[in-house]
Amino acid sequence: MKSNSSESARPAVAPARLLDGIRSPADVKALREQDLPQLAQEVRDELIKVLSQTGGHLGPNLGVVELTIALHRVFDTPGDRFVMDVSHQGYVHKMFTGRLDRFSTMRQYGGLNGFLLRTESEHDCYGAGHAGTALSIVVLNDNEWSIAKNVGAIANYLNSIVASPTFAHLHDKARDFVRAIAGKSVVQFAHKVEESVKGLIVPSVIFEELGLRYYGPIDGHDIPLLIRTFEFLKTQEEPVLLHILTKKGKGYEPAIKQPDKFHGLGKYKLETGETAPAPTPTYSEIIGKTLAKFAETNQKIVAITAAMPSGTGLSHFAKAHPDRYFDVGIAEEHATLFACGLATQGLTPFLTIYSTFFQRAYDMAIHDIAIQRLNVRLCMDRAGLSGDDGPTHHGLFDIGYLRHIPNWVHMQPKNEDEFVDMLWTMAHYNSGPIAIRYPRGSGTGAQIKTEPKLLEIGKAEVAQHGRDVAIFGLGNMFEVAEEAAAKLEEKGISVALINPRWIKPMDTGTLEFFARSVEVVCTIEDHVLHNGFGCAVMEHLHSNMINTPVARIGWPDQFIEHGAVPILRKKHRITADALVEKVLPLLRKKSTLRPSVA
Ligand SMILES: Cc1ncc(C[n+]2csc(CCOP(=O)(O)OP(=O)(O)O)c2C)c(N)n1
Q: Which pLDDT score is estimated for 146?
A: 82
Query: 19-255 and 283-437: same fold?
Result: yes
C-alpha closest to that of 410 among 358, 458, 454: 458
Tell me if residue 44 is catalytic.
no
Give the CA distances from residue 579 to residues 51, 477, 479, 491, 552, in Å, rounded to whole numbers and listed in that order: 36, 11, 13, 14, 8
Write the DSSP symbol of residue 276.
P
**How far apart are the CA of 27 and the centre of ligand 1, in A?**
30
Going from the Cα of 156 to the center of ligand 1, the distance in angstroms, rounded, reads 18
CA 598 to CA 596: how far, in whole Å?
Answer: 6
Contacts 24+ apart (CB under 8 A), 446-450: 446/415, 446/416, 446/417, 446/418, 447/417, 448/286, 448/416, 448/417, 448/420, 449/417, 449/420
Q: Kindly name the residue from 44, 228, 289, 360 that is annotated as catalytic.
A: 360
Q: Is 519 considered catalytic here?
A: no
**Which residue has its alpha carbon closest to ligand 1 atom 16?**
146
Residue nearest to atom 22 of ligand 1 (CA): 147
Instruction: Single out the catalytic residue among 248, 382, 403, 552.
Output: 248
Exposure string over 318-347, b if 16+ CB within 10 A, otherwise e: bebbeebbbbbbbbbbbbbbbbbebbeeee
Other CB atoms within a 10 A radius of the CB of residue 402 amount to 25
For residue 146, the CA-to-ligand 1 centroid distance in Å is 6
**Residue 48 confidence (pLDDT):** 98
Give the pLDDT of residue 5: 42
The pLDDT of residue 198 is 55
Q: Report the SS3 class of residue 381.
A: strand
332 is an active site residue: yes
pTM exceeds cut of 0.75: yes
**Which residues form the pocket of ligand 1, taking CB atoms under 6 Å from any ligand atom?**
60, 63, 86, 88-89, 129-132, 141, 143, 145-147, 248, 263, 306-308, 330, 332, 357, 360
Q: How far is the CA of 458 from the centre of ligand 1 (A)?
A: 36
Q: Is 54 helix (H, G, I), strand (E, B) or coil?
A: helix
Closest CA to 378 of 431, 436, 429, 302: 436
Task: Given the residues 46, 66, 231, 332, select the one marked as catalytic.
Answer: 332
Distance of alpha carbon 566 from alpha carbon 557, whole angstroms = 19
CA-nearest of 369, 305, 370, 357 to 335 is 305
Q: Are 369 and 377 in contact (CB under 8 A)?
A: no
Sign of CA dihedral 234, 238, 243, 248: positive
Residue 143, pLDDT score: 86
Architecture of the domain spanning 19-255? 3-Layer(aba) Sandwich (3.40)
Beta strands at 461-464 and 495-499: parallel, antiparallel or unpaired:
antiparallel
Q: Whose CA is nearest to atom 14 of ligand 1?
A: 146
The domain defined by 461-592 folds into Rossmann fold (3.40.50)
Buried b / exposed e along 352-390 (16+ C-beta atoms within 10 A): bbbbbbbbbbbebbbebbbeeebbbbbbbbbbbbbbbbb
CB 598 within 8 A of CB 538: no
Closest-CA residue, ligand 1 atom 17, reads 146
Query: In angstroms, rounded to a whole number, what is the distance separating the alpha carbons of residues 332 and 358?
Result: 6
Q: Which of 147, 243, 333, 354 has most ligand 1 atoms within 8 Å of its beta carbon, as the pocket-test mutant? A: 147
Residue 279 C-alpha to ligand 1 middle, in angstroms? 27
Q: Which fold has domain 283-437?
A: Rossmann fold (3.40.50)
Q: Whose CA is nearest to atom 13 of ligand 1?
A: 146
H-type alpha helices, 97-164: 153-163
| Cβ atoms of 269 and 108 closer than 8 Å | no
pLDDT at 3: 41
130 CA: nearest ligand 1 atom: 26
Tell me if 252 sits within 8 A of 48, measured CB to CB: yes
**What is the model's pLDDT at position 148?**
82
Distance between Cα 19 and ligand 1 center (Å):
28
Specify the pairing of strand 213-219 against strand 502-504: unpaired
CA-proximal residue: ligand 1, atom 25 (nearest): 130
Residue 554: is it exposed, middle or buried by C-beta count within 10 angstroms (0-12/13-18/19+)?
buried
DSSP string, 504-558: ES--HHHHHHHHHHSSEEEEEEEEESTTSHHHHHHHHHHHTT----EEEEEE-SS
Q: In a structure prediction context, what are the per-residue pLDDT tens digits for the chain, which is 598 residues long?
A: 344 444 445 556 666 899 999 999 999 999 999 999 999 999 999 999 999 999 999 999 999 999 999 999 999 999 999 999 999 999 999 999 999 999 999 999 999 999 999 999 999 999 999 998 765 587 888 888 887 887 777 777 777 777 776 666 666 666 665 565 555 444 444 455 555 555 555 656 778 888 888 888 899 999 999 999 999 999 988 888 899 999 999 999 999 999 999 999 999 999 999 999 888 999 999 999 999 999 999 999 999 999 999 999 999 999 999 999 999 999 999 999 999 999 999 999 999 999 999 999 999 999 999 999 999 999 999 999 999 999 999 999 999 999 999 999 999 999 999 999 999 999 999 999 999 999 999 999 999 999 999 999 999 999 999 999 999 999 999 999 999 999 999 999 999 999 999 999 999 999 999 999 999 999 999 999 999 999 999 999 999 999 999 999 999 999 999 999 999 999 999 999 999 999 999 998 654 555 444 3
Give pLDDT, residue 186.
45
User: With left for phi above 0 and alpha for psi between -120 and 50, is residue 423 left, alpha or beta?
Assistant: alpha
| Rounded distance from Cα 141 to ligand 1 centre (Å) | 12
pLDDT, residue 133, reads 78
Domain edges within the chain: 19-255, 283-437, 461-592
